[in-house]
Structure 1
Amino acid sequence: MKLVVTDGATLSGGGVSLDGFRRFGELVVYDLTAPEQLAERVGDADAVLCNKTPIPAELFDQCPNLRYVGECATGYNNIDIAAAKAHGVTVCNVGGYSTDAVAQHTFALILHHYSRVAEYDTAVRQGAWKQAKTFCVMPYPMQELAGKTLAVVGYGSIGRKVAAIGAAFGMRPVIATRTQPADCPYPLVTVDEAFRLADVLTLHVPLTEQTAGMVNARRLSAMKPTALLVNTARGGLIVETDLAQALRDGVIAGAALDVLTEEPMGATPLADLENCTLTPHVAWTPLETRQRLLEQAVENVRCWLDGKPQNVITAP
């Protein structure tokens, strides 16, 4: 069997390796693959492993040997699932591998906003503490998380973890989810209610036709002027021009984003706003998280070859 990795640079290195796939046959790894290179590189391969490489409908016509696409991520909006199904190609993703890491980064962004650690560290390094007349220097107002309403939009594994961490901080979680959870200990609200109630609103939903642009001028205008918006899910959930305008006008107090609509970052209107914190899609990147990702991706291939595929998005 031949396996092709289309964007190995996004997966390997920094303590993790793609060698686990070699047990299944010939492995060809490309660091990155441009759209015009994809069909030639996949060629006669039986399986493709990708992270963010777009897998369009025409690839399945151009590469008739292809029988398996392994999405080395949870989100699979880069793959034309309908075309894969029509061609009898199995698509599997990796779910749950990043729950702890993304929840951790979500709260790193929240604490960055409320505890002002970066600003105080900068002030100390610039001599503010040495020059102080008292034991304490406090030019940057801090706030407690306890008592604040944490609106969690999406109640999958990450949303559940974020809500539990928020509750441990003494926050009041409320949950907006399209499916009715059987065991949710927190109040359930609509998406519009979540925006209206939130002191902190955090997004944990996939990017679909239904969720694209769900953060828009209308919903932002309903939020508290003191509210913080956090997105560690997918950039396309937010209409960036609407968010930028809301941040400039003080409609909300701040935003903290690990994802953008265009990645690598393009000409986003959010880039130069002081009340918008940006990190470069790193919530999923702790070493343990990436090791777990590749272990699960390898196991997905093994199960498919055994005729018992797991984490199936579509299959013949």
Structure 2
Amino acid sequence: MTVAASISPHPHRIVFLDRDSLIASVRRPAFSHSWEEHAHTRGREQTVARLQGASIAITNKVPLRAAELAQLPDLQMIAVAATGTDIVDLAACRERGIVVANIRDYARATVPEHTLALMLALRRQLIAYRADVEAGLWQASDRFCLFGHPIRDLAGSRLGLLGYGALGKSVAQLGRAFGMQVQVHNRSPIQEGGVTQVSLDDLLATSDVLSLHLPLTEATRNIIGAQELARMQPTALLINTARGGLVDEAALADALTRGVIGGAGFDVLSKEPPLPDNPLLNLRLPNFILTPHTAWASGEAMQKLADILIGNVEAFERGVPVNVVA
């Protein structure tokens, strides 16, 4: 489905390639433009066809690589409706003078809350005990409660954060509120009280819960693989609400199956929507939780994202672009 609106004259043609990825009210920019939005866009040919003559492209997850950009001479800006920009060839954009802006600081509540929810569900064995109730085990118990799955408190445990940007800091704040000790591995020094900065080896070996908060780059792809998982404690949890490609999924599936680590909670996979043969899709383990990339998607967060998105477009039109990544 395509919806188009226009105001004359049209100095800018704006095309939103995947409007249905954002459940929010998206106001129109406060300058003269034409607006076209598509529920979904699939494939290189459709992407290029829809962006012909466009000066501003809005995309959440539709890739814009060098091959597409080479066929779009009128494109001046790419407004990414997300924080992650790995779908865009930033080097090609710099070569062509295309401004790329992303969304920042919109998910400081929703992603950390989801992260803590995964931790709590796994440490409290919610999935396992729910399955027991559904199987009738509590009803058949000879006592008032049902044991069988060890429950651990977050209080007093050690929370390890790999990456310490805005979301990592918010997770640290929530972790401290639960009585967790926070330690961080980060590229740059941290000047902040209440946080211990450690090496990656120490983070892996001593964290009771390891939560990932890194962008996906060639340097961070599969940063957690079989060797890293083997360094973790056998009771440790791995939480990933960042990017799917940060973890070797086959290695994680093997580690969970063999009990190398205590459990994992994931909201992201390396390819989304996932392929049927993804090794994490078929895991039926009580110590593994997979949610469909919804950590970011509270109603409040999506509306804030939409507002920032149009603010980025308006700032570009004024000649003072903000949230620029290329």
1:18 aligns with 2:22: no
In structure 1, the residue matched to 2:95 is 86
**What per-residue deviation string (whole Å, max 9, x for no partner) do you get for residues 4-31 of structure 1?**
011111113xxx1234348552111111
Distance 1:246 1:88, change over 3 A: same
- Aligned match for 1:143, one of 152, 156, 160: 152
Residue 220 of structure 1 and its aligned partner are, at CA, apart by 0.9
Q: C-alpha distance in 1, partners of 2:223/2:254?
A: 16
**What per-residue deviation string (whole Å, max 9, x for no partner) do you get for residues 207-247 of structure 1?**
01110010011111111111111100000001111111111
> Kindly, what percent of the aligned residue pairs are identical?
37
**Partner-residue secondary structure (3-state), 1:99:** coil
Residue 255 of structure 1 and its aligned partner are, at CA, apart by 1.1
**What per-residue deviation string (whole Å, max 9, x for no partner) do you get for residues 20-77 of structure 1?**
3485521111111122211110000110000011011123321111101001101101
Contact 1:93-1:313 at 8 Å conserved across structures: yes
**Partner-residue secondary structure (3-state), 1:3:** strand
**What per-residue deviation string (whole Å, max 9, x for no partner) do you get for residues 257-314 of structure 1?**
1001111121111222213211000000100000000000011111111111110112
Contact 2:30-2:314 at 8 Å conserved across structures: no
Q: C-alpha distance in 1, partners of 2:108/2:305?
A: 11
Q: C-alpha distance in 2, partners of 1:123/1:20?
A: 51
The alignment covers a number of residue pairs equal to 311
Q: C-alpha distance in 2, partners of 1:57/1:80?
A: 6
Q: C-alpha distance in 2, partners of 1:165/1:115?
A: 17
- Superposition CA RMSD, Å: 1.6
In structure 2, the residue matched to 1:44 is 53
- Aligned match for 1:6, one of 17, 25, 29: 17
Which has the larger displacement, 118-127 or 91-100? 118-127
User: Tell me, which stretches of 5 or more residues in structure 1 are unaligned?
Assistant: none
TM-score by length of 1: 0.94
- Aligned match for 2:320, one of 296, 305, 308: 308
Contact 1:21-1:27 at 8 Å conserved across structures: no
Q: C-alpha distance in 2, partners of 1:264/1:250?
A: 27
- Aligned match for 1:271, one of 281, 284, 292: 281
Residue 130 of structure 1 and its aligned partner are, at CA, apart by 4.6
In structure 2, the residue matched to 1:76 is 85
TM-score by length of 2: 0.91
Q: C-alpha distance in 1, partners of 2:271/2:115?
A: 20
The one-letter amino acid of 1:252's match is: I
